[in-house]
Amino acid sequence: MLEPDKTTKAKLQNIVNGIIAAWGQIRCGLPWRRPRKQERLRSPPHLNRTSRLYRKVNAIIVEFADTNQQNLLDRLTLEGEDIPREQLRAVWTDTSGKAVWESPIYEAFLRTLQKINLQLPGSNRLRLIGDNSTERNRGRFIRHAVSREILDKRLKALAVYGSEHCETRGMGFPGELRDKYHGPIWAASGFYNVEEGRRVFNLDDEAKLIEITGTNKAKLPVGKIFFLRSYNDPATLGDLFDAIIYYGSLKDVKVPADRR
């Protein structure tokens, strides 16, 4: 199964520890950036088979699986059914991002969650909740799904969406929902412009999780570090995310689509 090697996992351990620790105070967290064409192996948060994640969260909600195929997702992740790729592809082939989701890193994510759940009693298994990217108003759908499936039920969850959906200002679901749910949502993203991020933060090759909320970094202008909605957008880093994931010297590994 496709997954990072031992060296990569070791270099990312500080980031993983920081993300896991965040669930001590929050109920929903962690977006990631979706490159538009070829996917990067490091992009989605890696679920180690002996992950501590199951001790912190109750569910995972993702952009790359179709909620209309929720029964298929439940059979895979909750019941542990052995579902071949040609059948499993139904969970992403009807979504607007299907060309991207054909990359095997997404199937690997789903199957790794299945392996984690197989080690747990049924009542402790993590439910994987799909999204519906064919909805015309994507932002509203995501807000309603996170509210209905996670926050209203007082669950803790990992949410995996494109970064613009996860900004802590209006239009991002954390920004839209925090006032209603009194702030239990934590958002993080990788740099859009890594070289500019290295320059602004004076970073070396060590991978790290950079805290933004509650620090002086929150006041820094976004500048060229992240994509902005307009050229005169006055956003600060604190307007966008609670933390930034920096991968250090780790190089991107391009993973082309698997169209078998």
Tell me the pLDDT of the chain averaged across its residues: 83
List the one residue out of 257, 253, 258, 210 whose CA is nearest residue 42. 253
Report the DSSP beta bridge partners of residue 62. Answer: 160
Residue 42 has pLDDT above 70, yes or no: no
- The per-residue pLDDT for 126 is 92
Domain boundaries of the chain, sorted by first residue = 6-255
pLDDT (mean) for 168-186? 85
Which pLDDT band holds residue 260 (cuts at 50, 70, 90)? low
pLDDT digits 0-9 by tens, 17-39: 888 888 776 666 655 444 444 44
- The per-residue pLDDT for 155 is 87
Which pLDDT band holds residue 10 (cuts at 50, 70, 90)? confident
Residue 48 has pLDDT above 90, yes or no: no
pLDDT digits 0-9 by tens, 220-244: 999 888 877 666 788 899 999 999 9
pLDDT (mean) for 142-163? 90
pLDDT (mean) for 162-184? 85
- The per-residue pLDDT for 36 is 41
CATH architecture designation of domain 6-255: 3-Layer(aba) Sandwich (3.40)
- The per-residue pLDDT for 8 is 84
Quote the pTM value. 0.83
Among the residue ranges 9-13, 41-45, 53-57, 122-126, the one predicted with the least confidence is 41-45
Provide, rounded to the nearest whole percent, the portion of the chain with pLDDT above 90: 40
Residue 207 has pLDDT above 90, yes or no: yes
